Structure 1
Amino acid sequence: MQPFLSLLLALHVSLSTGNSFQKWTDAHGKVYQSEEERHSRSLIYAKNQLLVEKLSVADPDVVYDISGPFADLETSEFTSKLMSKRTVPQILEELREHSDQQSLPDSFDWEPKGLVAPVRNQKALGSCWAVSTAETVEGQLAKATGKLVPLSPEQLIECDASSDSTCAGGKGCADCGMFGGWPYLAYQFLQKAGGMFSEADWPYFKEGMFPCMPKGYSKALCGNHDDLYCRANSTKGQGPKDLCHATSGFTTPVSGWRSLSRNEEELAAQLIQFGPASVLIVADGLQFYHSGVFTGGLLGCQPDPSEGILGLDHAVLMVGFGKDHALFGHIKPYWRLKNSWGTSWGEQGYFRLERGTGRCGVNLAATVARVETSVVVV
């Protein structure tokens, strides 16, 4: 950071933010290792405060806010810590589900219908793919049985080393533990493994738990993470219980998956037909989102045309859709999406995204799990 800019930001911290940084750190339980780090984070906080003000002017229909959990992160840090920047599959068009055009309701939402579990917090791990996978399986299970049972993303993080050398034109795709992965491979892994455990039986990463990379992960596609500090015996999957190799105890089997339409009218009909869907998006513009129908922020939130779906970096759960009636009679159709950044972000952990324009690539890689109801074992 240039000295003059640092001086301006330091002045902004002292004059404009007052005690807001201290209040923010208290609210989020932030503890820094040194005064130097604290000062550095306060400057980033001040810079982000200016960015939020700029976003609010440029995009007045959306509320951006500095009070969320990522206010002390540079955009590059935010992207590297929480996004799954991995190659995604070019799913063959003939494998996609298509629906007859139907008259859609103005709004629909699976959350009040009991198919959506509480919002999770993936923390500083690239585990969105595992969370999104678990949540679409949860929806299928609840749809089949009437019982909403939170399932275990940790099972996928610790055990799933799936890879597909044929996807993305031969570039390859892989599930890489806490460094990213892809729901379609996770469905296939769960089908082969025999099923998915509940979150009660296999909790998510917590303090004192240091999982290793899944056995046999692709170093070519995931990078070499052999230097990762890990302690397999601190986990249920890789430790003494060895649940990664379990043959029983599953909450539900997974019998396969569906790839949904890119046509957003069809996709809305399929959401009603099949249940909550895992979708992949470009998410770096959502760091300071607080509420409203997101239409792209400063940069428009569209995948790089040269990358297509290869530029998608975050997995979330599509739970519904609706129409926002803004000022002067303007109507904004939207998707309602469940994130995995905790309830202090967005609309209690959810966000609304413009529908019908392919915003953030939301329609490019939507999938749902298949659950064989005749052998469900909840």
Structure 2
Amino acid sequence: MALSWKDCLIRIGLIGLLFLGIPIHIQKPHQTENHLLFQSYMKKFNKSYKKGSDEYEKRYQNFQKSLDTIQELNAKRQNEDSALYGLTAFSDLSRDEFTHHHLRSDLHNRLRKHTDHRITSSMYEHDNYRHHRNHISKRAISVIPDKVDWRDKGVITKVRNQKLCGACWAFSTVETIESMLAIKNGTLLDLSVQEIIDCAENGNFGCDGGDTCGMLSWLTAYKIKVGLESQYPLKLENGVCKRSKVNVGVEVAKNFSCDYLVGAEDKMLLLLANHGPLTVAINALTWQYYLGGVIQYHCSGSITDINHAVQIVGYDKTAPIPHYIIRNSWGTAFGDKGYVYVAMNGNICGVAVEVTALDVL
């Protein structure tokens, strides 16, 4: 049956929208148009699959499933402030591939080692949390501001791209060390993530996984200082530890905290407003298709779904949808120039399951 002019315009429009980075959330086109859309997708994201090959068919099938998923994710979108999902550089990956290459499906098991007892205990009397509470009281302003963005204060380094290296735990923690150093003495330095990837012990395995609290325990137990990125450049692969015997760099204080703050996100705001940026564990599964806006739905906060680590650099209670401002480590092409916004309260994406605050000496 011949397509009507209306259908033709829709098909052409779909391809046009792709180049504008606007997600597809209308009726999925027929097979011929899907192939055209897939070819446009490959061109936009610099993909190269030979048509008719097994690899092409595999990627095309993943692409088709992505179109369905995008439509489902956008179904609850009620206004322009809500999260917007669409085609991204990850849209030709299956869910398993995306999880394997860009997330850490074993992270929740690591978190349980130092989180379960805090869920059932009086966590706010934990020594480390008590220190930060006291520290906050010394620096606290009279009224917690409605909006905090540490980027405006010049204490946030550039957005990095971890690519296929599963060391989000190292990226996000080093980023917070950088921020806390800048807050303390006004010096913003790029510190070495690769040094942590190559050298961190205490159950950490570089690009093959690790966790923030294990890393900080190792750093503080041996008084190890994190050196400069310029002296230990990022290679995004596991390597032999080349840390200098001369222990020069930034040292983390022993008072770091890794707290379970589900149901107590006001404590996160206190830390963000009066202390500084935080590192958190999170569920980033649906971020495979994230383009912008505030995530409110489709993002479980269960500890069993935690698979990634990021840095929170602020929050905005005045926005139509109050949200946290999160820096990811998937490059500036991801989300809003490397950032993602997650709704406050409700432990969306598990943002409060493990909250890490730290000081530097």
Residues of 2 paired with 1:107 and 1:41: CA distance? 42
Structure 1, unpaired ranges of 5+: 1-9, 163-173, 212-234, 304-308, 326-330, 373-378
- Structure 1 residues 311 and 48, CA gap change in structure 2 (3 angstroms): closer
Which residues in structure 2 correspond to 1:355-374 (within 5 Å)? 355-372=344-361
Choose from 96, 112, 133 the match for 1:76. 96
Q: Tell me by how many angstroms 1:128 deviates.
A: 0.6
Q: Tell me by how many angstroms 1:64 deviates.
A: 3.2
Residues 56-65 or 342-351, more deviating: 56-65
Residues of 1 paired with 2:198 and 2:32: CA distance? 45
Q: What is the letter of the counterpart of residue 184 of structure 1? A: C
Residues of 2 paired with 1:140 and 1:261: CA distance? 21
Q: Tell me by how many angstroms 1:310 deviates.
A: 4.9
Q: What is the letter of the counterpart of residue 350 of structure 2? A: G
Q: Which has the higher helix share?
A: 2
Residues of 2 paired with 1:353 and 1:130: CA distance? 21
- Structure 1 residues 147 and 12, CA gap change in structure 2 (3 angstroms): farther
Secondary structure of the 2:329 match is coil
Q: What is the letter of the counterpart of residue 43 of structure 2? A: D
Q: CA RMSD in A?
A: 2.5
> Would you say 1:315 and 2:300 are equivalent positions?
no
Q: Is contact 2:85-2:289 (8 Å) kept? A: yes
Q: What is the letter of the counterpart of residue 202 of structure 1? A: Y
Residues of 2 paired with 1:156 and 1:347: CA distance? 27
What's the TM-score, normalizing by structure 2?
0.77
Q: 1:292-338 deviations in whole A, cap 9, x for unaligned?
A: 110122xx4220xxxxx35421100000000364xxxxx42111111
Which residues in structure 2 correspond to 1:253-268 (within 5 Å)? 253-256=251-254, 257-260=256-259, 262=261, 263-268=264-269
Q: Which residue of 2 aligns with 1:201?
A: 231
Secondary structure of the 1:340 match is coil
What's the TM-score, normalizing by structure 1?
0.74
Q: Tell me by how many angstroms 1:14 deviates.
A: 2.6
Q: What is the letter of the counterpart of residue 103 of structure 2? A: M
Q: Is contact 1:334-1:353 (8 Å) kept? A: yes
Q: Which residue of 2 aligns with 1:215?
A: none
Residues of 2 paired with 1:12 and 1:316: CA distance? 39
Q: Which residue of 2 aligns with 1:66?
A: 86
Q: 1:237-269 deviations in whole A, cap 9, x for unaligned?
A: x2xxx523x222633122232335712112111
> Would you say 1:280 and 2:306 are equivalent positions?
no
Secondary structure of the 2:321 match is strand
> Would you say 1:25 and 2:42 are equivalent positions?
yes
Q: Tell me by how many angstroms 1:33 deviates.
A: 8.4
Residues of 2 paired with 1:24 and 1:152: CA distance? 35
Residues of 2 paired with 1:71 and 1:261: CA distance? 33
Residues of 2 paired with 1:16 and 1:360: CA distance? 31
Q: Tell me by how many angstroms 1:193 deviates.
A: 5.5
Q: Is contact 1:280-1:314 (8 Å) kept? A: yes
Q: Is contact 2:145-2:273 (8 Å) kept? A: no
Q: Is contact 1:260-1:270 (8 Å) kept? A: no
Secondary structure of the 2:99 match is helix
Residues of 2 paired with 1:134 and 1:356: CA distance? 26
Q: 1:202-221 deviations in whole A, cap 9, x for unaligned?
A: 22225xxx53xxxxxxxxxx
Q: Is contact 1:119-1:339 (8 Å) kept? A: yes
Q: What is the letter of the counterpart of residue 40 of structure 2? A: K
Secondary structure of the 1:269 match is helix
Which residues in structure 2 correspond to 1:35-54 (within 5 Å)? 35-54=53-72
Q: Which residue of 1 aligns with 2:211?
A: 182
Secondary structure of the 1:178 match is helix
Q: Which residue of 2 aligns with 1:141?
A: 181
Q: Tell me by how many angstroms 1:12 deviates.
A: 4.2
Q: What is the letter of the counterpart of residue 301 of structure 2? A: Q
Choose from 8, 16, 20 the match for 2:34. 16
- Structure 1 residues 142 and 371, CA gap change in structure 2 (3 angstroms): same
Q: What is the letter of the counterpart of residue 289 of structure 1? A: Y
Q: Is contact 2:178-2:188 (8 Å) kept? A: yes
